[in-house]
Chains A and B, each alone.
Chain A
Amino acid sequence: MKEESVVVTQNLIKSFENNHVLKGFNMDLQKGENLVVLGKSGSGKSVLIKCMVGLLYPDNGSVKVFGKEVADLSVNELDDLRIRIGFLFQSSALYDSMTVRENLEFPLKRHQPTLTQKELDDLVMEALANVGLERAADLMPSELSGGMRKRIGLARTLILKPEIMLYDEPTTGLDPITSREISELILEVQKNYKTSSIIITHDMDCARTVANRVIILINGERYAMGTFEELMKSDDPQLKPFFAAL
């Protein structure tokens, strides 16, 4: 049976003036899988997922999400698509003038305006329970630790029940224990929400924990692809440095 691709990029090219970040990148994300994209800092990993939600547009090539060419969508069509995609930012990007509760209510109030306050409260508490932070509802983002901010960011993203999750460096800046917890949370999200996910990272422990498939991004191109174990066992000198610390 042919597997269903929910995201496909073909010959994706993106440059910032003279900095050629992506030079014909190809990949596909299968429904229900966790795909990890590994690469050095500045290799264009974040640019790749930003092209998938229309935050950046490619100079050339194609990015299709659910079969739709992102660059060709109208503003309203893009908004409709974005509701089906969750994006966890590296900095968590919580709205710092709002409480945790207001952060979670924000997308709900705009996309499900008919919900009553009671229904909003229930959904918020359910999302917070899923990330183990029910007691943080009335805190401000400035009162949260780095790991808590990631969890709240994830809860805010999941509250609209997206079909695709894009994680931008989900464990960067966290201690090893919290990183491990976030990695396990990513697995729980895959299991409970049936999401298809792209995880951008250079944290090898996170990659090993969450990946069904790994793509190595070198010099703006897909250098290698396979399971974590396959790539770890490779003798390729370009791949060895990635797995050296393990």
Chain B
Amino acid sequence: MDKNQSGYKVFIEEIGSISAFTWKFIKAFFNRKQEWKEIFRQCYIIGYQSMPLVGITAFIMGLVLTVQSRPTLEEFGAVSYLPAMVALSIVREIGPVVTALICAGKIGSSIGAELGSMRVTEQIDAMEVSGTNPFRYLVVTRVAACIFMLPVLVVVADSISLYASYLGVNLKGVLTWNLYYHQVFESLSFSDILPAYIKTYFFGLAIGIIGCYKGYYSNKGTEGVGLAANSAVVVSSLVVFIMDLIAVQIADMLGYT
């Protein structure tokens, strides 16, 4: 009983701490003083250097989804709906969520481990005692880069997925690029793209905040660094799913379905 109570207490405290950390980020983010050079460097690391992984995953995702969906649609004589169905699935849900999960794994763990090792080796303390704000230099730059780059990665992933889907359609049939393109964009509307695009900013915020929080407050020792990296991935992946659930409900309430 006591164990459960202490578990709940830790859980509630953790949520409170992450909320306070997020609020601190928001205040610092809208401050005039920013480390722009470091933000651009982080955008390069987080965005550009994640492109190969995101691209390959998106390609496979688009191809597999198309190939796997074809038999079911064939049963109903609805193969002509394949491009539209795949496009809706990718743009509304699979593209943003899978890209966010890949980023939670790649970026979340790397931020958690980097800041965790900086904490353990007293580099964050060294920054603080030199009169430099480590929160602004380390946290704001990384979270901002995640917020800016995740939507870009999702657009890239969606594009590659749709192209892979075109190849998938042509594995067992013949469809010209022009017709495929026409069918895809005819099926997509503003209400499909906008909510999906907006939620990617929040996914970026969640991945950046949780990675930074876990690393920034990691316990002393190498075990703490490993734990920070690991929990950054687990918690941010979970938060991505929870945010997705909330985003779907909000989009539904606003009539974007």
Contacts and interface: CB of A to CB of B under 8 A. Distances in A.
Contacts of B114: 97
B129 A110 contact: no
A142 to B, nearest CB: 12
A82 B134 CA distance: 14
B121 A96 contact: yes
A160 B121 contact: no
Contacts of A111: 131
Given A87-B126, A89-B126, A93-B126, A110 B121 contact: no
Given A91-B121, A95-B123, A106 B128 contact: no
Contacts of B125: 50, 55, 89, 93
Interface in B115-156: 118, 121-123, 125-133
B129 A53 contact: yes
Contact of A80 (B126, B128, B131): B131
A136 interface: no
Interface residues of A, number: 24
Nearest to A55: B125
A159 B243 CA distance: 47
Contacts of B127: 95
B122 A91 contact: yes
A89 B118 CA distance: 13
B122 to A, nearest CB: 4
Given A93-B121, A96-B121, A79 B126 contact: no
Contacts of B129: 53, 55, 82, 85, 87
Contacts of A110: 130-132
Contact of A93 (B123, B131, B132, B133): B123
A83 interface: yes
Contact of A79 (B122, B123, B131): B131
Interface of B: 114, 118, 121-123, 125-133
Interface string A95-116: 1110000000011001100000
Interface of A: 50, 53, 55, 79-80, 82-83, 85, 87, 89-91, 93-97, 106-107, 110-111, 156-157, 160
Q: Which of A79, A85, A160 has most chain B Cβ within 10 Å?
A: A79
Contacts of B130: 82-83, 87, 106-107, 110, 156-157, 160
Contacts of A90: 122
B131 A83 contact: yes
B38 to A, nearest CB: 11
27 contacts: A50-B125, A55-B129, A79-B131, A80-B131, A82-B129, A83-B130, A83-B131, A87-B126, A89-B122, A89-B125, A89-B126, A93-B121, A93-B125, A93-B126, A94-B123, A94-B126, A95-B118, A95-B123, A96-B121, A96-B123, A97-B114, A106-B132, A110-B130, A110-B132, A157-B130, A160-B130, A160-B131
Q: Which of B114, B128, B130, B132 has most chain A Cβ within 10 Å?
A: B130
A156 B131 CA distance: 13
Nearest to B124: A93
Given A95-B123, A107-B132, 18 more contacts: A53-B129, A55-B129, A79-B131, A79-B133, A80-B131, A83-B130, A89-B126, A91-B121, A91-B122, A93-B122, A93-B123, A94-B123, A95-B126, A95-B127, A97-B114, A111-B131, A157-B130, A160-B130
Contacts of B132: 106-107, 110
B48 to A, nearest CB: 17
A55 B121 contact: no
Given A93-B121, A93-B123, A95-B123, A55 B131 contact: no
A52 B133 CA distance: 18
Q: Which of B122, B125, B126, B132 has most chain A Cβ within 10 Å?
A: B126
A87 B126 CA distance: 8
A87 B127 CA distance: 10
B136 to A, nearest CB: 10
